[in-house]
Chain A
Amino acid sequence: MVHTSHDAVARSFTESWGRLVAGLIAWCGDWDLAEECAAEAFAAAVPAWETTGVPDSPLAWLTTVARNRARDRLRRRTTEDAKLALASAGATDQVAPADDADIPDERLRLIFTCCHPALPMPARVALTLRTLCGLTPAEIGRAFLVTEPTMEKRLVRARAKVKNAGIPYRVPPPELWPERVEGVLGVLYLMFNEGYAASSGESLLRVDVSTEAIRLTRSLVDLLPTEPEVRGLLALLLLTDARRPARVRDGRVVPLAEQDRSRWDRGLVLEGTRLLDDDPPWGPYAVQARIALCHDVAARPDGTDWAAIADLYSLLPATPVIELNRAVALSMAHGPEAALPLVESLAGDLAGYYLYAATRADLCARLGRTDEAVAALETAIAQAPTGAERRLLRERRDALLAR
């Protein structure tokens, strides 16, 4: 029985933490208080639900408990701020709604506030994971390779800025919509990528953070149904995540061409595909989703429609990294000699980027210029950010030398 209650609370935590906290912040205006009382409500749920069973409206149950805790805490405080908060929290609503359906979903306000451009990017990511997903500072710290106190400090500073600088708790008005929605999507995309491929260190997959990014993006699709790029981003995340089961084997990254494609998650590919609009114009996330889809639908590596991929890359803003990817697609569609001039034109911009050196190595190797290929691989090995990627590059170099 204990297990059932535990599981029910854990499930509720995943489903309801963000909504509970967002609603509490809207109710009392105090972020710290909202989080503390939300955590207490979940702690109280474990023994309570064990005796009474899981309530019909878990969110309403949790909201009532959290609001009562918040009122108790505010009454014990004697500051002017607390008195004001208590007055507004008591006045607006004495009794919490009894049914989950009656509780407005305030998460959209919360996510726009957490992803406000006035906050530094790492703080936006940390605040989103803490406040909307309920990850602890220790968990977020682990995901981003910083200590718990460092992450705690980052969160404290971020909340202080929200308060001191007066970052509004609201869904922005239409004229700010394009900029701010893009900002939110940028945070979710970064979160997914950080989780998907750690930027340094030995461990490559950080399942939790990318799963949270997908979960949040799913919610955002429901909350912003008219924004095509929100669907585009969710499609991109799903179509990329579909390859996760085949991406790492025995602690080593498996390149796309060598992955066991039977392990790819067909369900995710199907779901991602359904999210895409048939007709252009497509935003950058939708274009990247289509590129991921080109890979996902190829039964074998040599069945990949590289010409289509190269065309899709030309729809994206021509940054050096995008151009490098386009060059790779061109080389696959039309041969290495077709791509080498484009790659070499990027030498200045991408001098420190290991995938530049790795790409040049690959093209040189395919053209039979082995010495150049080995030299480029040495550069790439020195620049690669994770051990898994270094191992892969060393194997390639050794294979070339053995020829």
Chain B
Amino acid sequence: MKYLMIHALDEDATPRTGSNGEPLELAAWIEEMEARGVVLDGARLHPVSDATSVRAPNGTVVVTDGPFAETKEQVAGYDVIDCPDLDSAIAVAAAHPTTGAGSIELRPFDEGMPDPEVPESVPDGKRRYLMLVCADMRRAMAAELDATEVHADSVPERSSADDEEEDEPIDRWIADAGARRLYGWPLAFPDTAVTVRRVDGEVVTTDGPFAETKEQIAGYDLLECTDLDDALEVASSHPVAATGVIELRPLRL
């Protein structure tokens, strides 16, 4: 199963466990997990002060400074991992140095995600952005629950993801984004999230996302664009921009 590891750190805080070899720890984690074929993609992000959010209610594009939600800990990076089950994913997350300083949220991807293929080097004149697609998922979850109760016999796995009609808005968006989108996939609902922290050296696993917010991360796409305006054009035409919010974060390369 594929999981998204969302690294959440309080940018103003000092690490909880100040073990002296943290860069080494990180290098060791990457080396081990890549050797085991666990990590498929991942990157660190520029600080949250470099974040830009965009909404497009009624087709009017509104660009604002800052992240999709003001939280104590902020998204600082991500990794895509492939593990046999949740327990092994938790073990992979617990071994990451982020748990000593902040939190790691683990979220399964929706089924059917192909292995991401992200070229190591970025072409001249291009930059990469993580595009977080955020929406109020409680409504979507409630709608799915209703559907489950009504059609208890023939429950569709997931109402939205399975309808792969040619002219779905999301397919049109993917076609329009073209080469500016490297890959992307929806995440399972936030109620599937598990958050891993280390408290006094002990690994603590809690149910739910790293922060309670009105809108939650529903999926992401990795973009490769010429500049922020180029990325904003892609983001603002995403179907979720009409009802939710899209955050753009430049990758630290």
Contacts and interface: CB of A to CB of B under 8 A. Distances in A.
Interface stretch (A99-107, A161-169, A229-237, A240-248): A161-169
Contacts of B226: 166, 168
Interface string B38-61: 000000001001111000000001
Given A117-B63, A117-B64, A167 B49 contact: no
A185 to B, nearest CB: 16
Contact of B227 (A117, A167, A176): A167
A168 B228 contact: yes
B250 A166 contact: yes
A123 B49 CA distance: 11
A56 interface: no
B185 to A, nearest CB: 24
Contact of A164 (B50, B225, B230): B50
A172 B227 CA distance: 12
Interface in A135-188: 157, 160-161, 164-168, 170, 172, 176, 179
Contacts of B250: 164-166
Contact of B46 (A118, A164, A176, A179): A164
B144 to A, nearest CB: 34
B66 interface: yes
Interface in A96-124: 116-121, 123
Size band of the interface chain B makes with A: 20 to 34
Nearest to B124: A84
A163 to B, nearest CB: 9
B65 interface: yes
Interface in A196-247: none
A250 to B, nearest CB: 41
B56 to A, nearest CB: 12
B52 A157 contact: no
A67 to B, nearest CB: 23
B49 A160 contact: yes
A322 B188 CA distance: 46
A273 to B, nearest CB: 33
Given A118-B52, A161-B49, A172-B229, A166 B63 contact: no
Interface in B201-253: 225-232, 248, 250
Size band of the interface chain A makes with B: 10 to 19
Given A120-B66, A165-B250, A176 B52 contact: no
Contact of A117 (B50, B65, B129): B65
A157 B65 CA distance: 12
Contact of B229 (A157, A161, A168): A168
Contacts of B230: 168
A170 B228 CA distance: 12
A118 B230 CA distance: 13
Contacts of B64: 117-118
A166 B64 CA distance: 15
Contacts of A118: 52, 63-65, 228, 232
Interface in B124-143: 127, 129
A164 B227 CA distance: 10
Contacts of B52: 118, 165
A168 B227 contact: yes
A120 B229 contact: no
Contacts of A161: 49-50
Given A118-B228, A164-B250, A166-B250, A179 B49 contact: no
Nearest to A167: B228
Nearest to B46: A164
Interface in A278-315: none
Interface in B25-49: 46, 49
Nearest to A123: B65
B190 to A, nearest CB: 27
Interface of B: 46, 49-52, 61, 63-66, 127, 129, 225-232, 248, 250
Given A117-B64, A123-B65, A166-B250, 11 more contacts: A117-B63, A119-B65, A120-B66, A161-B49, A166-B129, A166-B225, A166-B228, A166-B231, A168-B229, A176-B229, A179-B63
Give the 10 A-B CB pairs with smallest separation, nearest first.
A117-B63, A118-B52, A168-B227, A166-B227, A164-B46, A120-B65, A164-B50, A166-B127, A166-B228, A165-B50
13 contacts: A118-B65, A118-B228, A119-B65, A123-B65, A164-B250, A165-B52, A165-B228, A166-B226, A166-B250, A170-B229, A172-B229, A176-B229, A179-B61
